[in-house]
Amino acid sequence: MQIADKKVVSIHYTLTNSDGAVIDSSRDAEPLVYLHGAQNIIPGLEAALAGKVSGDELTVSIDAADAYGPYKEEMTQVVPRNMFEGVDEIKAGMEFQAETSQGVQVIRIAAVDGDEITIDGNHPLAGQDLHFDVNVTDVREATEDELAHGHVHTAGCDH
C-alpha cells in the first residue's frame, strides 16, 4: 500500500542538522506513527514520503521553510522576571506555555540577565535545514475514529 492522505504510516528515522549532529532518532524505540495528510509531521517530510511503500528507505533534506519555518526575531522579547511569578529558579532552556493571540504557545527561556528574561517563541529547530534517514515500516488504512480525530490512535490514547 502506498503512502497517501488518510493512511496511517509508521517510520523509523534519524534526524540530523546540517553539521551532521543527530537531533533525534526512533531507531532504538518504537517507530513514529502518524496520519498522512493531517499535518502531523513537518510538510517537507510528509511530501517526501508520499507514494512510498513499506520497506522503502530514503534520505531527504528539508529546507527550513518546509520544516519549522524561518527563525523570526520578532518572536523573541525581553520581559521582567516578575512575569514568572511562582517560579523560584529561571534558567536558559526552560520551557513554559503562554497564552498568545494565536492560542497557547510554548516559549523557551533564551537568556537570563538579572531581572531581564529573554523569551523565544520560535520552535527550537526554526531556521534550520533538516536531514532525515527514513525507513517506512508500515502503511495501513486509517480507522474512522482516527480520521475523525485527525491523528493515530495508539496505546494510551484517551478518546
* Alpha carbon distance 91, 110 (integer Å): 8
State how far the Cα of 151 lies from the Cα of 9, in Å rounded to an integer. Answer: 11
Pairwise CA distance, residues 95 & 104, whole Å: 13
- Which DSSP category does 41 fall into? S
Residue 125's pLDDT is what?
A: 96
- Residue 101 confidence (pLDDT): 80
* Cα–Cα distance measured from residue 132 to residue 125, given in angstroms and rounded to the nearest whole number: 14
In the prediction, which pLDDT does 153 show? 83
Contacts of 123 (CB under 8 A, 6+ apart): 68, 69
Strand ranges of the sheet holding 116-120, from the earlier edge strand across to the other edge? 76-80, 116-120, 103-113, 95-100
Give the chain's domains with CATH numbers: 7-68+125-149 (3.10.50.40), 73-120 (2.40.10.330)
Contact 67, 42 (CB under 8 A): yes
What is the model's pLDDT at position 103?
A: 85
Return the C-alpha cell found at 44.
Answer: 517537507
How do the pLDDT tens digits run along the chain, 159 residues long?
A: 999 999 999 999 999 999 999 999 999 999 999 999 999 999 999 999 999 999 999 999 999 999 999 999 999 999 999 999 889 899 999 999 988 887 888 999 999 999 999 999 999 999 999 999 999 999 999 999 999 999 998 766 665
What is the structure's pLDDT at 127? 97
**Are 110 and 124 in contact, with CB atoms under 8 Å apart?**
no
Q: Give the pLDDT confidence score for residue 159 in this predicted structure.
A: 59
pLDDT at position 154: 73
